[in-house]
Amino acid sequence: MSSKSNNEVLLEVKNLKKYFEINKGFFGRSKEYVQAVDDISFFIRKGETLGLVGESGCGKSTTGRTIIRLYEPTAGEIIYDGVDISELSENDLKPYRKKIQMIFQDPYASLNSRMTVGDIIGESLDIHGIATGAARQERVFDLLNRVGLSKDHASRYPHEFSGGQRQRIGIARALAVDPEFIICDEPISALDVSIQAQVVNMLDDLQKEYGLTYLFIAHDLSMVKHISDRIGVMYLGKLVEVTDRNELYDSPEHPYTQALLSAIPIPDPEVTRNAQRIILEGDVPSPINPPSGCRFRTRCSYAMERCAEEEPVLREVNEGHFVACHLMDEKFPITE
Amino acid sequence: MSERLLEVNNMKTSFYTHVGEVQAVRGVSFNLNKGEALGIVGESGSGKSVTSMSVMGLLQYPGKVKDGNIIFKGEELTKKSQKEMMAIRGNEIAMIFQDPMTSLNPVYTIGNQIIEAIVRHQHVDKKEARVKAIDMLRTVGIPSPEKRVDNYPHEFSGGMRQRAMIAIALSCQPDLLIADEPTTALDVTIQAQILELIKELKDKMNTSVILITHDLGVVADVCSRVVVMYGGLIMEEGTAEQIFYDPSHPYTMGLMKSIPRMDTKEKQRLIPIPGTPPDLVKPPKGCPFAPRCPYTMKICLEQAPEYTYLTPEHRSACWLLHENAPKTEVDNGVRKEVIK
Amino acid sequence: MADNKISTDMWEKVDMSTLDKEVIARKSLTYWQDAWRRLKKNHLSMIGLFFIVLMTLLAILGPFFSRYSYSDQNLELGNIGPTMEIYQIDDNDFVYMNKEYKLVEVTEDGHISKRLVPTDEDMMQKYRSYEIDGKEVVIDYSFAVAAKKSGDPDAKKFEIRVNGDVIDIHDKVFNKTYWFGSDSLGRDLYIRVVYGARISLLIALVATIVNFFIGVLYGGVAGYTGGKTDNVMMRIVDVIATVPLLLYVIMLMVIFEPGLKTIMIALGTVYWVNMARLVRGQILSIKEQEFVLAAKTLGASSWRILVRHLIPNAMGPIIVSLAMLIPSAIFTEAFLSFIGLGVNAPMASWGTLANDAVAGLRTYPYQLFFPALFISITVLAFNFLGDGLRDALDPRLRK
């Protein structure tokens, strides 16, 4: 465990579910649900970074958006600093809108192109009445400065900036309310390689400076490993494995995690050409009708009969290492 | 052993837009042998995609190849008419694109789209073409191709669509396959499938491949030779080993240093390349990378460097390699990953 | 070798960290400045805009250039065209003969003085005689019947004799009193066309404003709220859209008296539905964008999100749609007026002017020409501008 995280839990998610309703049939009488997030539980300690990885459609972004209440959770609890915020009204939620912030994926879509950069960053100051007039301007300049931009940029419009600069404006907007916890929803996947490192380093520095806690959502395992203290792996709405970053890399237990790790192309010709790849067959099934039992079984080379019948639960197989797989019962027998 | 398939000499491509001439490609030369896989690496705006579109003759208004030659199998492509290019495209040069959703026509079945390509170029009847199409789908690993051939693109998943695209591209056994970010829109596990497929088909059909990507890992996996582009120019070219183990251009080194390594226990700070890529409406007169380079000298801002050949196949455009350049301590960012 | 010429100081290292890497070279342009820049390049649109401005100026300032009002009539001077063929009686006396073979006193440059009173008139013999400045002027239109029978349009229909000598046309001059001619009641057509412009542009303005506010708000609320509310609101829109405009106007006439107000109410209550649909569609696609989510996470209220984030981003298509709706509104008003459901006499709109002209179309085509010309120019101008705006505001063309 990284030294900077203490043991105080800041956020605990318990049995969180988010189903999206899709209407089918005449007048929408027969309803179907996309089980985007299905019964996941995890916690994040103060000052640490939890990485959340998985492929598109696995529910990682939905998890982030449900925690910040952009989506109404279907079931479950979101306990932030001891308070369940999953059912708070928008009004009661307002103080938490200052504590929890979000950085978005698309640097082009995440900034309102009709507003100046100064107004984008300053919007939360207006909403929460934090600062007005000269004080507001002062704060906007300070925020721009913190993300490596100058105050001349405040009067410009988003389309004049490059992707990396826009993403930093997005970070400045999130920082404006002095948050404690930031959900980073794929903040670097739309950026060029050389720019990604700029943004990641900035997130690192800001975390050290302000003691921020991050939920870092991404599909790029190498970046997630770089920035996270602990990593959760999601597959089709389920959390299949959570553990320390090094543990995940050294001894991944879930067959999906193993496949995911082996699929990463390493920028080293010899290594990558000689690597023993686990090539998964087929595609991710539809989250409308997920497979029974273990959702990964349709692509898993170790699938047993039991996997189709019984859903594996996420349990601690080693200290701080949680896995949801029936294979674990043999490898790490349950000790009463 | 190797036969020259494609030669691009000093190609320049510009887009004439309302803000002025965007010099997307500013003099690029490279070549490709039969059966070889060449990687073109670069960030957005480096000119890598424009290079491939120029070779394909697919540039749309206001883009234009304004200078240079493209010699494919001994024939000059820049002088060819649209009609002649149409006969070559799809038949001798095929292309797959980044987004498998938009590159398939949603109103035709997958089978129809393959059959169309085969009938147009190979002068066979529809029945025969259909057999070939099913064959092709089987080759690219689509399960039960007899049924899937009559599916529409929306009935395919992202990975399957990219396989179908590859099936269309390879249906006429082209000599050259240009893959423009073929896996960028796909998930890692699907990416692994597709890359495996491209490698396999390249060996089986002896097709040459130009793989355009921003992902150094993908290049390392598939390509034997690598071209690194920046600001519309080739910064460095060499074999994969030379580029990854002995990079000589600060930009290549910078790219290596800015991606995290997988094999370290402790968190290591990434070394980003500061700043942003050049504006190609007003390209810098010196080296395009000079404003972001940690080793910039006066000359770099004044004059574009010539290529220095470190070995016959490894060249690099950097003033540091000039015989008169002062010896500079350079961290080349090379790492040998330790993978179990 | 050229390389050896590089002087040693060129090899000095430059500290690039002093250089501002975040500087933006290009000039700062807001969305609207950028759109205007692109619109300016579209010649047809600029011509359209020019005519719209011209038409607006004419509608506002036009009446100041005329000494008549739209209702001033002079029955004696009816049906005089914008150009006149005048005859010279002697040095200072000029006359114009109207289509009814009656003489009007005019000046040489085209000012109309008064209608002359004949000294003798015989409807059977088909002649009319006047006394001007001591000279006897006789109009003999007895040839007209034969000319009509022959079917030759150029056949001689009349003769003007001054003291027995046949005179010929002296000159063709522009009507300086009634620039566009006068109608059958002797009202100045120019001022009536100008008042028609006022009405058309007023209709355009009202249609735009009503559409903008009702349509944008209604569509915005429906799109943003979504779900059941959206469903109910859009079904109401569907119902309104099924009522044919003509039927609707006729029904309104029963309640209110026919006139401008009724047309405005009719257009205002019906036209906004298309706008509401458009705005709803726009809002639906914009509200899923990340900047809206970002505003929500900042705790922005729904109203704030709608007004500051959603509507400004939907403005492009809204403006294009408004520009395209204006000609349609003008046309509808003209059409309703033409069929007699429009403004009341003596008020004039382009539609009623056209209608009035239809009766005498073969004899006095200019009376239809001017209102038709103005309708065409205005509608075309708005269409050109709308087309240009569509291109200029299209987000896909940006960058």
- Taking the CA of residue A219 and the nearest CA in chain B, the distance in Å comes to 8
Contacts of residue A31, Cβ cutoff 8 Å, sequence gap at least 6 = A21, A22, A23, A24
Q: How many Cα atoms sit within 13 Å of C227 on the Cβ side?
A: 3
Q: What is the mean pLDDT of residues B18-34?
A: 89
CA closest to A165 among chain B residues? B276
Mean pLDDT estimate for chain B: 87
* CA distance, residue A277 to nearest chain C CA (Å): 36
List CB contacts (< 8 A) between C315 and chain A: 114
- The residue of A114, A150, A155 whose CB has the most chain C CBs within 10 angstroms, and thus the best one to mutate to test that interface, is A114
Higher per-residue confidence, B311 vs C182: B311
Residue C62 contacts by C-beta under 8 Å, 6 or more apart in sequence? C190, C191, C194, C197
pLDDT, residue C398, reads: 47
For residue C74, pLDDT beyond 80: no
Per DSSP, helices labelled H in C256-365 are: 260-270, 272-286, 290-297, 302-304, 311-338, 350-359
Q: Which residue has the higher pLDDT, C141 or A86?
A: A86
pLDDT for C142? 77
pLDDT, position A4: 44
Which of B259, B264, B293 is the best substitution to test chain A (most A C-beta atoms within 10 A)? B259
Mean local confidence (pLDDT), C284-297 = 91
pLDDT average, residue stretch B14-23: 85
pLDDT in tens, B218-251: 999 999 999 999 999 999 999 999 999 999 999 9
Quote the DSSP letter at residue C13. B
Q: Cβ–Cβ of A153/C22 closer than 8 Å?
A: yes
**How many helices, marked H, and strands, marked E, lie in chain C?**
14, 10
Q: What is the pLDDT of residue B240?
A: 93
pLDDT of residue B44: 85
CB-facing half-sphere around the CA of B213: CA atoms within 13 A:
28
Chains with at least 3 CB pairs less than 8 angstroms from chain A: B, C
Residues paired with A19 in a beta bridge: A35
Q: Do C38 and B18 touch (CB under 8 A)?
A: yes
Write the DSSP symbol of residue B273: P
- Residue A164's φ and ψ, nearest 5 degrees, are -65, -40
Which residues in chain A touch residue B260, judged by CB atoms under 8 angstroms apart? 200, 222-223, 225-226
- Closest CB to C289: pick one of A102, A109, A123: A109
Nearest CA in chain B to A245: B265
Which residue is listed with tokens 């027995």?
C164
pLDDT in tens, C94-110: 878 777 777 787 887 77
Q: What is each CA distance from C18 to B171, B278, B292, C14, in whole angstroms?
A: 55, 17, 12, 9
Nearest 5°: phi and psi at C17?
-70, -20
Residue B335's pLDDT band, with cuts at 50, 70 and 90, is: low
pLDDT in tens, C147-178: 777 777 777 777 778 777 777 777 788 887 77
| Per-residue pLDDT at C180 exceeds 60 | yes
Contacts 24+ apart (CB under 8 A), C363-372: C363/C79, C363/C99, C364/C79, C364/C81, C364/C99, C364/C181, C364/C184, C366/C81, C366/C82, C366/C180, C366/C181, C366/C189, C367/C181, C367/C183, C367/C189, C370/C180, C370/C181, C370/C189, C370/C190, C370/C193, C371/C193, C371/C196
For residues B320 and B267, which has the higher predicted lDDT (pLDDT)?
B320
Listing DSSP states for A291-326 in one string gives: PSSSTTGGG-TT--HHHHHSPPPPEEEETTEEE--T
For C325-358, write each residue's pLDDT tens digit: 888 888 888 888 888 777 777 778 888 888 888 8
**H or E element, residue A16:** strand A9-24
**What's the confidence (pLDDT) of residue A236?**
92
Q: What pLDDT shows up at residue B19?
A: 75
Token pair listed for C219: 């569509």
Task: Please give the residue of chain C at the shortest CA–CA distance from B299.
Answer: C10
Q: Which residues of chain A have pLDDT under 70?
A: 1-6, 23-30, 335-336
pTM for the whole structure:
0.83
Q: Which residues of C touch B295 (CB under 8 A)?
A: 13
- Specify the pLDDT at position A3: 42
Q: Give the closest of B18, B275, B326 to C21, CB-based.
A: B275
pLDDT at C1: 40
Shortest CB distance from C291 goes to which of A94, A112, A128?
A112
The full DSSP string for B106-175 is TTS-HHHHHHHHHHHHH---HHHHHHHHHHHHHHTT-SSHHHHTT--GGGS-HHHHHHHHHHHHHTT--S
Q: How confident is the model at residue C259 (pLDDT cuts 50, 70, 90)?
A: confident
Is residue C23 scored above 70 in pLDDT? no
Residue A178's region, left for phi above 0, alpha for psi from -120 to 50, else beta, is left
Distances (CA, A) of B79 to A301, B70, B72, B271, C208: 53, 9, 12, 45, 54
Q: What backbone phi and psi angles, to 5 degrees, belong to A274?
A: -95, 0
Exposure letters A235-251 (e unless 16+ CB within 10 A, then b): bbbbbbbbbbbebbbee
Confidence tier at C64 by pLDDT (50, 70, 90): confident
The confidence score (pLDDT) of residue C103 equals 77
> Which of A258-262, B252-256, C67-71 shows the lowest per-residue confidence on average (mean pLDDT)?
C67-71
CATH label, A9-114+157-331, candidates 3.90.550.10, 3.40.1360.10, 3.40.50.300, 3.90.25.10: 3.40.50.300
Assign C242 to helix, strand or coil.
helix
Partners of A105 on chain C (C-beta within 8 Å) are 290
The nearest CA of chain A is from the CA of C204 a distance in Å of 27
Q: Return d(Cα B93, Cα B75) in angstroms, integer.
A: 13
CB contact (8 A) between residue A201 and residue B337: no
A144 CA: distance to closest CA in chain B (Å): 16
For residue A179, give the nearest of A96, A111, A293 by alpha carbon: A96
Among A86-100, B283-297, C16-30, C141-155, which is the least confidently predicted range? C16-30
CB contact under 8 A, A68 and C297: yes
Q: Where is average pLDDT lowest: B23-27, C101-105, C375-379?
A: C101-105
Neighbour count for residue B208 (Cβ, 10 Å)? 22
- Cα A242 to Cα A253: distance, rounded to the nearest angstrom: 10
Q: What value does the mean pLDDT take over residues C125-152?
A: 78
> Which residue of C lies nearest to A122 if distances are taken between CA atoms?
C298
Per CATH, the architecture of C189-397 is what?
Answer: Orthogonal Bundle (1.10)
Give the gap in angstroms from C-alpha C14 to the nearest C-alpha of chain B.
Answer: 5
What span, in angstroms and rounded, lies between the C-alpha atoms of C178 and B209? 80
What is the phi/psi pair of residue C386, to 5°?
A: -60, -40
Q: Which fold has domain B4-223?
A: Rossmann fold (3.40.50)
Across the A/C interface, how many CB contacts are shorter than 8 Å? Answer: 82
Distance of alpha carbon A39 from alpha carbon A61, whole angstroms: 15
Q: Which two tokens stand for residue A275?
A: 């690597």
Predicted local confidence at residue C2, as pLDDT: 45
- Which residues on A lie below 8 Å from B336 (Cβ)? 268, 271
B182 cis-preceded (ω within 30 degrees of 0): no
Residues 6+ apart with CB under 8 A from C202: C260
Q: Is the Cβ–Cβ distance between C113 and C107 less than 8 Å?
A: yes
Residues of B with CB under 8 A from a CB of C: 18-19, 274-276, 279, 282, 290-303, 306, 322-326, 328
Residue C275, min C-alpha distance to chain B (Å): 30
- Predicted pLDDT at C21: 56
Question: Which pLDDT score is estimated for A144?
Answer: 93
Do the chains contact at A264 and B188, CB–CB below 8 Å?
yes
The Cα–Cα gap between C177 and B134 comes to 84
Closest partner CB to A265 (pick from B220, B268, B277): B220
- Burial call A67-106: b when 16+ CB within 10 Å, e when fewer: bbbbbebbebbbbbbeeebbebeeeeeeebbbbbbbbbbb
Q: Which of A46 and C35 is assigned the larger pLDDT?
A: A46
Residues of B in contact with C14 (CB under 8 A): 296-298, 300-301
User: Which pLDDT value is given to residue C128?
Assistant: 81
Q: Find out whether C393 and C316 touch, Cβ atoms under 8 Å.
A: yes
Tell me the mean pLDDT in the region C354-374: 83
Per-residue confidence (pLDDT) for residue C17, from 0 to 100: 61
**Boundaries of CATH 3.40.50.300 in chain B?**
4-223
**Dist. CA A199–CA B98, nearest whole Å:** 25
Q: Considering chain C, what is the average pLDDT of its residues?
A: 81
pLDDT at residue B209, as a whole number:
94
Contact C6 B290 (CB under 8 A): no
User: Considering only CA atoms, which of A102, A90, A36 is closest in space to residue A64?
Assistant: A102
